[in-house]
Amino acid sequence: MPGLLHLDASARSRSFSRRFGDRFATGWRAAHPGAGYVHRDLAADPVPFIGEAWTELCDEVMRRRITDPRRYAEVVRTPAQQAAWDVVAPLLDELLAADVVLVATPMYNFTVPAALKAWIDQVTFPRMALTGTRFVVVCARGGTYLPGTPRAAVEHAADYLRDFLDGHFGVTDVAFVTPELTNALVDPVLAGRRPEHEASVAVAEAQVDRLVAAYSPAVA
């Protein structure tokens, strides 16, 4: 049975990243009735940052050359390490059980929110591969950072996630949806660019709907 892990990272309860993440999750769940679904709101219920005990687990996993995540618990030795593992274990179980991971995030200050980075740090260990997992990333941005635009070089949210998922997890099946210029709704300086924002939203809606269709079972 397929499973979807849905992560929200926006500090706003009514954000564009949540809006499009919900659109994908609703469509995916309708196409996969009875499938597993886990939603984690990393902004409302943040996971803790990693601490020294987590680094000890990481070092021991690397020292023993353990590549199977199901064996990570073998390295736990101290009460502090057990407490660190108790944080990691449910997060890692959810990730490993998912066929599709939906990451809905804004870009804050040119990169992903700390809440999302904290989750990434908790579930990431040396030489860990997720090559059979699909990722959908919704990354909403207040301005425009498309290739060829003046600020393209400082886009470190979608680019970071693309580089990380491929470079560490070996995941190449990643789809990106990037509604842009959301600040045109509130910033007078960008008010004249609202049509561009609305066009970006329309493109994002169509992208999400195509992804839902692509990830849905074929109908005979």
* Averaged pLDDT, 14-43: 96
62 within domain boundaries: no
Tell me the C-alpha distance between 186 and 14, whole Å. Answer: 14
Q: What is the pLDDT of residue 1?
A: 60
Tokens 């990037």 -> residue: 178
73 within domain boundaries: no
How many domains would you assign to the chain? 1
82 within domain boundaries: no
178 within domain boundaries: yes
Q: Is the pLDDT of residue 220 over 90?
A: no
**Mean pLDDT score across all residues of the chain:** 95
Q: What is the pLDDT of residue 131?
A: 86
Could you tell me the CATH number of the domain that includes residue 141?
3.40.50.360
Tell me the C-alpha distance between 61 and 192, whole Å. Answer: 53
* Averaged pLDDT, 66-91: 97
Which H or E element spans position 83?
helix 79-97
Q: Is the pLDDT of residue 218 over 70?
A: no
Q: Is the pLDDT of residue 2 over 70?
A: yes
81 within domain boundaries: no
Strand segments (E) across the chain: 3-8, 36-41, 100-106, 134-140, 174-177
132 within domain boundaries: yes
Per-residue pLDDT tens digits for 102-160: 999 999 999 999 999 999 999 999 999 998 899 999 999 999 999 899 999 999 999 99
56 within domain boundaries: no
- SS3 at position 8: strand
* Domain ranges, residue 205: 3-48+93-214
pTM of the model: 0.94
Per-residue pLDDT tens digits for 160-217: 999 999 999 999 999 999 999 999 999 999 999 999 999 999 999 999 999 999 988 7
Q: Percent of the chain having pLDDT more than 70?
A: 98
Tell me the C-alpha distance between 163 and 210, whole Å. Answer: 24
88 within domain boundaries: no
End-to-end CA distance of the chain: 19
